[in-house]
């Protein structure tokens, strides 16, 4: 799986509101925070979803995360942490999915 495939899979993973969370990479069924790669995870943050696909090299995960970060900076016009942006109260699932979509489209056009 390359970075573009990972971005698409991660977006699909969190597109259902019941499979998205904030303030941690992921959550188990009981609501306890877990790592995005934990097999007990049932919902993920945008950044946690990047770690949910089994067998993806960490370099691919890091590249996908850096592409999301770059797109966020381009859109916001300022440097900020992807994690902090994601976990702000005002950031919605629609905002996160939109960031994934914009990043995927920019990669497909060769702009990122």
Q: What pLDDT score was predicted for residue 78?
A: 63
Tally the domains of the chain. Answer: 1
Residue with tokens 């495939």: 5
Q: What pLDDT score was predicted for residue 76?
A: 77
Residue with tokens 């489209």: 105
Q: Is residue 25 a contact partner of residue 51, using CB atoms and an 8 Å limit? A: yes
Q: What pLDDT score was predicted for residue 28?
A: 98
Containing structural domain, residue 73? 3-108
SS3 (DSSP) at 39: coil
Q: What pLDDT score was predicted for residue 79?
A: 67
pTM of this structure: 0.94
Beta strands (DSSP E) in 1-112 are 26-28, 33-34, 41-44
Q: What pLDDT score was predicted for residue 81?
A: 86
Q: In whole angstroms, give the CA distance from residue 24 to residue 75.
A: 24
Q: What pLDDT score was predicted for residue 27?
A: 98
Mark the ranges of the chain whose per-residue pLDDT is less than 70: 77-79
CA 98, distance to chain mean position in Å, is: 11
């Amino acid at each position: 799986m390359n970075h573009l495939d990972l971005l698409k899979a991660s977006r699909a993973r969190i597109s259902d509101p019941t499979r998205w969370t904030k303030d941690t990479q992921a959550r188990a069924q009981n609501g306890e925070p877990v790592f995005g790669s934990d097999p007990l995870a049932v919902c993920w943050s945008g950044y946690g979803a990047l770690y949910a696909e089994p067998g993806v090299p960490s370099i691919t995960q890091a590249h996908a995360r850096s592409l999301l970060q770059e797109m966020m900076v381009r859109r916001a016009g300022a440097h900020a942490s992807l994690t902090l942006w994601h976990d702000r109260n005002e950031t919605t699932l629609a905002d996160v999915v939109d960031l994934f979509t914009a990043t995927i489209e920019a990669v497909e056009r060769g702009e990122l």
